[in-house]
């Protein structure tokens, strides 16, 4: 009888220990999930069209229990620095080649989680109506960051203005034919609309063109093909890409409501990429 009591006591103790361990594991798991999620998502973005689009994302996320806080930036460098230093949770301003180049140069590990839209880059001018009107020695302003400068030069090459070497990243040093002896000014992308009156032409990213009240479809004298690979993306730190709030953000940004907003509001100057 005593032996039976000992056996029962041992079994009861084992069950109790397993139950306690199970409860502990469940509690820990729940805690990790809560820790991985957050109800306020801070995202960095340039004003147009990125912040405008995100304003339409806000109510969609709100229904899922998340508040979206938009922090605006006016350059192409600070948003990635802020994300890498954990001052923000995500950003939305750049295309994939720019992100890849930034990671390479800065030893960062930022990743994109959603393609949102394409902004066709355009050539603008206050002095000519057609690129064939460019005179000998004319001055053209282009972005000075590697990916967008390459993109601008490839657009000019496609239009027959110059010839360039093949390759992903090219600069004005890679121009192989320049019959009109064109001069190229490399400037920060946000400055390009401001110098439009001082140069013969400028190749401008659509977001900065829109801020300067330039309509890519009406005002550009040349524009990228809609097949351009430069989709603008939502970017996060690699360690966060599978967290619940990131998945909620991706779902909201790639929702039918946002696709319709981009199509209706920008009327082809910006194109959904999902």
The sign of the dihedral angle between the CA atoms of 58, 51, 95, 156 is: positive
In a domain, 9, yes or no: no
What is the rounded CA–CA span in Å between residue 130 and residue 201? 10
> Are residues 114 and 236 both part of a single domain?
yes
> Are residues 180 and 234 both part of a single domain?
no
> Are residues 268 and 141 both part of a single domain?
no
- 49 versus 10: the higher-pLDDT residue is 49
In a domain, 60, yes or no: yes
> Are residues 176 and 239 both part of a single domain?
no
pLDDT band at 33 (very low <50, low <70, confident <90, very high): low
In a domain, 240, yes or no: yes
CB hemisphere CA count around 17 (13 angstroms): 6
- 195-254 pLDDT per residue, tens: 999 999 999 999 899 999 998 989 999 999 877 889 999 999 999 999 999 999 999 999
- 59-97 pLDDT per residue, tens: 999 999 999 999 999 999 999 999 999 999 999 999 999
What is the rounded CA–CA span in Å between residue 139 and residue 201? 7
> Are residues 209 and 129 both part of a single domain?
yes
> Are residues 207 and 187 both part of a single domain?
yes
Q: Using CA atoms of 187, 190, 192, 198 in order, give the dihedral in degrees to the nearest 10.
A: -90
114, two tokens? 């959603």
229 to each of 120, 130, 151, 232, 233, how far by Cα in Å? 10, 25, 10, 9, 12
Owner of token pair 């405008």 = 52
In a domain, 8, yes or no: no
**C-beta separation of 246 from 236 below 8 A:** yes
> Are residues 111 and 183 both part of a single domain?
no
Task: Note down the domain range covering 264.
Answer: 36-119+230-272
Count: domains in the chain = 2
Q: What is the CA radius of gyration of the chain?
A: 26
The domain spanning residue 133 has which CATH number?
A: 3.40.190.10
- The pLDDT of residue 35 is 67
Q: Helix, strand or coil for residue 238?
A: helix
What is the rounded CA–CA span in Å between residue 231 and residue 267? 17
> Are residues 169 and 195 both part of a single domain?
yes
What is the rounded CA–CA span in Å between residue 187 and residue 108? 25
Q: Which residues pair with 141 in a beta bridge?
A: 185, 202
What is the rounded CA–CA span in Å between residue 258 and residue 113? 16
- The pLDDT of residue 225 is 84
> Are residues 81 and 113 both part of a single domain?
yes
- Listed residues 189, 206, 223: the one ending a domain: 223
In a domain, 21, yes or no: no
> Are residues 85 and 138 both part of a single domain?
no
> Are residues 138 and 68 both part of a single domain?
no
- The pLDDT of residue 268 is 86
């Amino acid at each position: 009888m005593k032996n039976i009591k000992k056996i029962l006591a041992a079994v009861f103790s084992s069950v109790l220990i397993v139950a306690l361990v199970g409860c502990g594991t469940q509690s820990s798991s729940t805690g990790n999930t809560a820790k991985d999620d957050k109800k306020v998502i801070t995202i960095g973005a340039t004003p147009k069209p990125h912040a405008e689009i995100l304003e339409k994302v806000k109510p969609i996320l709100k229904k899922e229990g998340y508040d979206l806080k938009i922090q605006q930036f006016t350059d192409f460098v600070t948003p990635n620095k802020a994300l890498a230093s954990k001052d923000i949770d995500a950003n939305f301003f750049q295309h994939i080649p720019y992100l890849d180049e930034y990671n390479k140069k800065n030893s960062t590990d930022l990743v994109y989680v959603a393609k949102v839209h394409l902004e066709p880059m355009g050539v603008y001018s206050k002095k000519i109506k057609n690129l064939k009107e460019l005179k000998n020695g004319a001055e053209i302003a282009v972005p000075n960051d590697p990916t967008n400068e390459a993109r601008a030069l490839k657009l000019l090459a496609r239009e027959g203005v110059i010839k360039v070497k093949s390759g992903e990243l090219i600069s004005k040093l890679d121009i192989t034919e320049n019959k009109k002896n064109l001069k190229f000014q490399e400037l920060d992308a946000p400055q390009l609309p401001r110098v439009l009156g001082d140069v013969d032409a400028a190749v401008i990213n659509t977001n900065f063109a829109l801020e300067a009240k330039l309509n890519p479809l009406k005002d550009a004298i040349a524009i990228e093909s809609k097949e351009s690979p430069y989709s603008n993306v939502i970017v996060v730190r690699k360690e966060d890409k599978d967290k619940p709030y990131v998945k909620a953000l991706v779902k909201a940004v790639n929702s039918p409501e946002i696709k319709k907003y981009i199509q209706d509001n920008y009327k082809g100057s910006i194109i959904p990429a999902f």
